[in-house]
Chains A and B, each alone.
Chain A
Amino acid sequence: GENVEQHPSTLSVQEGDSAVIKCTYSDSASNYFPWYKQELGKRPQLIIDIRSNVGEKKDQRIAVTLNKTAKHFSLHITETQPEDSAVYFCAAGDNYGQNFVFGPGTRLSVLP
């Protein structure tokens, strides 16, 4: 089955700096890669996703890159703000909305 690893487990950055979170996956059949943000005590919320036919996707301050050959994908947050502080989970799954396997999460702290 799919196995998703995520690094780092914790990340502290100064407000305004960039943050990068990296994930690797094992199943070459996975072709859908969402990123979720989870604030303390709240539900995971999708912030960006990428499909295997795309190498990079950007939405304002957030971007995701995918390298299918190497089986890794990364989340980039630029100009970080304190409200970006949360746990971020990457996930990998197939294109038919089935089982998503989540990474272990990265706790991002943006220091003012």
Chain B
Amino acid sequence: EPEVTQTPSHQVTQMGQEVILRCVPISNHLYFYWYRQILGQKVEFLVSFYNNEISEKSEIFDDQFSVERPDGSNFTLKIRSTKLEDSAMYFCASSAQGQGNTEAFFGQGTRLTVV
């Protein structure tokens, strides 16, 4: 069964450092998303990406965040200068195009700890 894969599973970084979280979406999917989940809280939408550009982003997704699809398979989330409050589980998800199939498949997540 195809799945979304994320690396690393856990990343510890010092405050102020840049981090890049990596995702490989399901190969025939065209929509890609990043979500985050602070421990014990709900899943929060960060950004959606389609046709090589951001299609929607939340207020959480400020100038410190950026996304990129550098090649045909990877989808990355970069946090330029991490803050303590960026500590969370970050989920990548992907979905196929069209009205008939909009299920979003989630990766296993990357637990980011900012110290």
Contact = CB atoms under 8 A, between A and B. Distances in A.
Contacts of B43: 36, 38, 44, 89, 102
From B58, B102, B108, B109, name the one whose CB has the most chain A CB atoms within 10 angstroms: B102
Chain B contact residues (Cβ within 8 angstroms of A): what range? Answer: 20 to 34
Interface in A35-84: 36, 38, 42-46, 49
26 contacts: A36-B43, A38-B43, A43-B91, A43-B106, A43-B107, A43-B108, A44-B106, A45-B106, A46-B104, A49-B103, A89-B43, A93-B102, A95-B102, A96-B98, A97-B96, A97-B98, A97-B102, A98-B48, A98-B55, A99-B45, A99-B48, A99-B56, A100-B33, A102-B35, A103-B42, A104-B42
Nearest to A105: B42
Interface of A: 32, 34, 36, 38, 42-46, 49, 89, 93, 95-105
A46 B109 contact: no
B47 to A, nearest CB: 9
